[in-house]
Amino acid sequence: MNPTQPNPTDYSMWKLMAWTGPVFFIGFFCMWGLLADNFPPMAASTSAQEMWQHYKDLQTPIMIGMSVCMVLGSCYMTFGAAVSRVMRRIEGPEGMLSNLEMMGATITYCPIVVACGIWLTIALQIDVLSPEMVQTLYYLAWMIVDLAYMVTSWQIIAAAIVLLRDKREKPLVPAWVCWWGFVTVASFFPVSLIPFFKTGPFAFHGMFNFWIAFPTWYIWIVSMSIFIIKAVNRIQIEDGAARTAAVPMQGGAMIGAR
């Protein structure tokens, strides 16, 4: 092998990163949603004493669920790296939007891990925390994880714009997934109202800001994961076909040179 030549594309690693998308959403659904009892989450209007009792009663499940979520949250970052690689095949290696998508996915992990760390700490220290402190920390985690939505929005917007530019007869990612990304971003904007409402659809547990915003994002993650995994396989086939087609051309060039 010529040491000056670049290493061949590692499709197996690329596929592994693509599969971390399903690991993220399945893990969070089970650990954050089911085990830690966040479907639905405790309401913003819940009294301080009731919040304290909630964490006391579910101390162990919350500690396990949040601990796992802090680890699995990194899978959103690696999933974003796989999406970015697919985008580069459309945008080109110098494109800015593929970098923006990967940065958005990476930074999205930050509020996730911080919020889960706060919820974990409440459960861990519940016996020494006052009800008012539990309530304050609970609110703090929700403000952090929800109001950082614009970082994720830039990630989704970047992916949608580039993937809609795919000129293949059959695009790597269908247009409807890209347009659903714009719907997802639009669903995030009412989240800005969560500091001002403890009841109703605009509270962090309410119809708009939980039951619409979160499922909309989850649908985007699931659909994007499915098609990014398929896209990696298609790109591997395309690259193989291109190499096969290049061999006869190289052979003909050598014969002509002789």
Give every CB contact of residue 29 below 8 A, 6+ residues apart in sequence.
218
Q: Residue with structure tokens 């002789």?
A: 258
Distance CA 89, CA 238 (A): 11
Per-residue pLDDT tens digits for 206-218: 999 999 999 999 9
Angle at 96 between CA 92 and CA 100, to 5 degrees: 120
Q: Residue with structure tokens 């085990």?
A: 35
The H-or-E segment that residue 33 falls in is none
pTM recorded for the entire structure: 0.89
Give every CB contact of residue 14 below 8 A, 6+ residues apart in sequence.
82, 85, 232
**Average per-residue pLDDT for the chain:** 91
In the chain, domain spans: 11-229
Per-residue pLDDT tens digits for 82-102: 999 999 999 998 889 999 999
Distance CA 174, CA 228 (A): 10
pLDDT band of residue 1 (cuts 50, 70, 90) is very low
